[in-house]
Amino acid sequence: MNALLALLLRDMRLATRVGGGALMGALFYFVVVSMIPFAIGPDLNLLARIGPAVLWIGALLASLLALDRLFASDHDDGSLDLLTMSTLPLELTVAAKAIAHWLTTALPLIVITPVLGLMLNVDMSAMGFVALSLVAGTPALTFIGLIGAALSVTLRRGGLLMAILVLPLTVPVLIFGVAAANAAIVGPAPFGPPFTILCALSLASFVLGPFAAAAALRQGQE
């Protein structure tokens, strides 16, 4: 447990220091969401209607792009080999890394969401629910993306391949995330059901993701 905590803190420290790029995800999110009004026009009513969807797409792309970093730098300097050979179960190691990744990339993104919501004319009273849907849903994105990150690092190919592999798998998260956010803003459907399913997706991918990612990393060692 101590070792896992040390690993978690190490990853967080690495991410927050110079060159770590922890805030890059949030910055990318900010830029992407700011670009949308330029494409669809400054109509505030339209922006309010599609606001939650825009925020979710932005969060999806930001967490996807940040995933490249999850194993790549460890792989380059060789520490990934040490982690794989350690006595810790690789599944737990990978899960700890994913949690650190979520804390350093997804959490800043959620923190700035209310500001972006303001710019998109999303109803402020509902903004809390949109942020809540992101809190519940982004772990699923991280843990599904974890599989893609592990696969692409073992294949020595990142970037586009990972996006192609991961994006179709995130369809359910996107559907229920936007549904929960919309339910809070527009109604009439209740917020509860999509939100609980979103939590379930996160929990399920928390179980599935580390096992698949660890299996992928192990085969890369052979």
Partner 1 sequence: MALIDIFNNLANPTRFLALTNRVLPWLTALTVIVLVYGLYRVAYAPDDYQQGATVKIMFLHVPAAWLAMMGWGLMAVAAFGTLVWRHPLADVAARAAAPIGAAFTFICLVTGSLWGRPMWGTYWVWDARLTSVLVLFLLYLGMLALYWTAEDPNRSARAAAILALVGAINIPIIKFSVDWWNTLHQPASVIRMGGSAIDPSILVPLLIMALAFTLLFLLLLLLNMRNEILRRRVRSMRMMQAASI
Q: Of 35, 44, 115, 155, which one interacts with partner 1 (CB under 8 A)?
A: 155
The two tokens of residue 162 are 């990972």
Contact mark string toward partner 1, 190..209, x via CB under 8 A? -------x---x--x---x-
Instruction: Count CB neighbours of 142 within 10 A.
Output: 26
> Out of 151, 180, 184, 185, which residue is the one contacting partner 1 (CB under 8 A)?
151
Would you say 39 or 171 has its CB closer to partner 1? 171
Place of tokens 């192990």: 218
Instruction: Name the token pair of 163.
Output: 């996006």
115 contributes a contact to partner 1 by CB under 8 A: no
169 binds partner 1 (CB under 8 A): yes
User: Closer CB to partner 1, residue 38 or residue 222?
Assistant: 222
Tokens of 1: 């447990």
CA dihedral 29, 76, 13, 31 (to 10 degrees): -10
CB of 165 to partner 1, least distance (A): 5
Which of 191, 193, 196 lies closest to 181 in space, CA to CA? Answer: 191
CB 105 within 8 A of CB 22: yes
Residues of the shown chain interacting with partner 1 in the complex, contacts defined by CB under 8 A: 147, 151, 154-155, 157, 161, 164-165, 167-169, 171-172, 175-176, 179, 189, 197, 201, 204, 208, 212, 215-216, 219-220
